[in-house]
Amino acid sequence: MFTGIITDVGTVKARTGGRFEIETAHKPETIEIGASICCDGVCLTVTHLEASASGAVFSVDVSNETCSKTTLADWEPGRQINLERSLTLGAEMGGHVVSGHVDGMAKIVDIKPDGESQRFSFEAPEHLALYIAPKGSVALDGTSLTVNEVSANRFGVNLIPHSLQVTTWGTKKVGDNVNLEVDLFARYVARLMEFRQ
């Protein structure tokens, strides 16, 4: 379980098929084999670990199913990714409940300045749009964000300067796909409503 509060920006160091090596500033002694780390919103299991000059390099194995539903199919060495360690009991819950189970991809269709912030507009797959509501939460590339507005299958969010600096959002551009996880509670409410009809 995660909160959508990014704790590091990692770098893909190598890729061999479905195995990725990711460098992080987190110290190797704080990471265990079998630990879950949210990588651009995707919950992945650490299968190998070694120290590096700047922290640690950990390996993860990714299934074809995960690659087909996420941006991981396009990951190549040098790509920067948002990282979050799993939530520990007693830790501050700063974002919202994020499972790391990506529902699909959303496409950035517009980026505009909004004061010191940046306003991003996205196009979501139609089957996921019904779970996205104004003032609700979404996780985009692992980042917990509040939805500003919704129109059909498009929605918008604002990113403040701090978020743009400490995540990969400052490098995003129109046309990029991002990993989308809809709010867990919205999904359950929608499912319950199906049974009421």
Q: Which domain holds residue 166?
A: 104-196
Residues 45-95 have pLDDT tens digits of: 999 999 999 899 999 999 999 999 999 999 999 999 999 999 776 666 677
Confidence label for 193 from pLDDT (cuts 50, 70 and 90): low
Q: Is residue 1 part of a domain?
A: no
> What is the distance, to the nearest Å, from the Cα of residue 4 to the centroid of all Cα atoms in its chain?
7
Q: Which residues contact 67 (CB under 8 A, 6 or more apart)?
A: 18, 73
Exposed/middle/buried for residue 197 (C-beta within 10 Å: 0-12, 13-18, 19+): exposed
Coil, strand or helix at 21: strand
pLDDT digits (tens, 9 = 90+) for 96-139: 889 999 999 999 999 999 999 999 999 999 999 989 999 999 99
Which DSSP string corresponds to 104-130?
Answer: EEEEEEEEEEETTEEEEEEE--HHHHT
Q: How many Cα neighbours within 13 Å face the side chain of 4?
A: 23
Mean pLDDT of 136-146: 96
Residue after which a domain boundary falls, among 58, 85, 112: 85
Global confidence as pTM: 0.92
Instruction: Write down the mean pLDDT value for the chain.
Output: 93
Asked whether residue 92 is assigned to any structural domain, the reply reads no
152 part of a folded domain: yes
- CATH number of the domain at 46, please: 2.40.30.20
Residues 58 and 133 placed together within one structural domain of the fold: no
Number of domains in the chain: 2
Q: What SS3 class is residue 143?
A: strand
My answer on whether 55 and 111 are in the same domain is no
Residue 127 is assigned to a structural domain of this protein: yes
Q: Would you say residue 3 lies in a domain?
A: no
Q: Is residue 90 part of a domain?
A: no
* Same domain, residue pair 15 and 55: yes
What pLDDT was estimated at residue 95? 76
